[in-house]
Amino acid sequence: MRLKDEATRRMGEILFFELEKIEEKPGFNLRDMQSESTRAYIREMADSIKASGTATVPPITIWQEDGHIYVDEGHCRRRAHIIARDEGAPITGIRAYAVPESLAKSEAERTLNMFTSNNSLPLTPMEKGKGIQRLLSFQWSIKDIATRQGVTPQAISNMLAVLELPAPAAELVEKGAVSPTLAVETVRKQGAILGTDALKTGVEKAKEQGKTHATKKHLPPPSIQTRTDRISPIAKPEVKIDWNEYGPQLKEALEKVLRLHSSAGVQRIEVVNARALIKEINQLI
């Protein structure tokens, strides 16, 4: 059945659908719909709909696939409509546009479209990174993605590299406390533990100065200088550690870990723990 036949009514190109008719395709949306910022955004929109109606809310866009009608743009708007209706707003349906047929047939094009269609609540760096990852799975090159986005290939590589950050560092990026570029560069140069620690220290220093965003000037001087010419945000080549060269740096890192954990009663680092750490490092390389 055609989309137009599924609609309850139409006004020019705008179609009206019952809310239950519109679905969210699992795994398609890049946005984390459970994040604090997204939920707050949906809540604010639902309250606005309850107070002023749906006239000021732009129509969503949809496409049809295998008998289902899916949201293309407007996942937050759809959920806000449902919340407002369930809380008593007199909502009988939602307005929608059908995406062009060429876009409906290409998941890659629909994914790319998400990068520019989220103006009210932009995608986070992690969400953009997942989108880049998906486009690469469609055999797009970084150069192709950069051209379509109007940015440099390095900018796309940086978006992708955010996915490789340790969870605490990625959280700082998601909150906007540090830029993706600074986080990637710091972790790449200093390693996961010390790099994340440096970023946290920089954020605290920025807060003391009344800033919500840390820059390179807020970070402490690196205590360990590591080689960066062997590290790629996309692929991790086979390399062997020269322990004669890096042994003193490992000792310094372990001593710092011991100092950080001494308040929890840790008095010494057991050999078995050091061996486990070395094994983990080898697996990460």
How crowded is residue 62: how many other Cβ atoms within 10 Å of its Cβ? 27
- Alpha-carbon gap, residue 86 to 117, rounded angstroms: 27
**Residue ranges per domain, the chain?**
3-106, 238-285
What was the pLDDT predicted at 99? Answer: 85
Return the axis-axis angle of helices 153-161 and 125-137, rounded to nearest 10°: 110
- To the nearest 10°, report the CA torsion of 229, 231, 232, 235: 130
Can you tell me the distance from the alpha carbon of 82 to that of 75, in angstroms, rounded to the nearest whole number? 11
Residue 285's pLDDT is what? 46
Burial classification of residue 86, based on how many CB atoms lie within 10 Å of its CB (0-12 exposed, 13-18 middle, 19 or more buried): exposed
**Domain 3-106, CATH class in plain words:** alpha beta
pLDDT of residue 237: 45
Q: Spell out the per-residue pLDDT of the chain, length 285, in tens.
A: 566 667 777 776 888 999 999 999 999 999 999 999 999 999 999 999 999 999 889 999 998 888 899 999 999 999 999 999 999 999 989 999 988 776 666 888 888 888 877 667 888 888 999 999 999 998 999 999 999 988 899 889 888 888 989 989 999 998 889 998 899 999 988 888 889 999 999 999 999 999 999 999 999 987 644 444 444 444 444 445 555 555 666 767 766 666 666 655 555 555 545 556 666 665 554
pLDDT at residue number 224: 46
Tell me how far apart the terminal alpha carbons of the chain are, to the nearest angstrom: 53
Report how far apart, in Å, the C-alpha atoms of 115 and of each of 24, 130, 221, 269, 271 are: 18, 11, 35, 46, 48
